[in-house]
A and B are shown apart, each in its own frame.
Chain A
Amino acid sequence: AQSVTQLGSHVSVSEGALVLLRCNYSSSVPPYLFWYVQYPNQGLQLLLKYTTGATLVKGINGFEAEFKKSETSFHLTKPSAHMSDAAEYFCAVSDSRYSSASKIIFGSGTRLSIRP
Chain B
Amino acid sequence: DAGVIQSPRHEVTEMGQEVTLRCKPISGHDYLFWYRQTMMRGLELLIYFNNNVPIDDSGMPEDRFSAKMPNASFSTLKIQPSEPRDSAVYFCASSATSGRALDTGELFFGEGSRLTVL
Most buried by B among A32, A42, A99, A106: A99
Interface size on A, residues (CB 8 A): 24
Q: Spell out A's residues near B (CB within 8 Å).
A: 32, 34, 36, 41-46, 49, 51-52, 90, 94, 98-104, 106, 108-109
- A contact residues around B31 at 8 Å (CB): 100-102
Contact B105 A102 (CB under 8 A): yes
What is the CA–CA distance of A100 and B93 in the complex, to the nearest angstrom? Answer: 13
Interface size on B, residues (CB 8 A): 26
Given the known interface contacts A43-B91, A101-B33, the answer about A49 and B42 at a Cβ–Cβ threshold of 8 Å is no
- B contact residues around A109 at 8 Å (CB): 42-43
Contact B97 A41 (CB under 8 A): no
Main secondary structure on chain A at its contact with chain B?
mixed
Question: Is B62 an interface position by the 8 A CB rule?
Answer: no
Contact A102 B4 (CB under 8 A): no
Q: 3 closest pairs, A vs B, by CB?
A: A43-B109, A101-B105, A101-B95
Q: How far is the CB of A53 from chain B (nearest CB, A)?
A: 9
What is the CA–CA distance of A49 and B95 in the complex, to the nearest angstrom? Answer: 15
Which of B14-22, B48-56, B70-78, B79-87 faces chain A?
Answer: B48-56
Contact B105 A52 (CB under 8 A): no
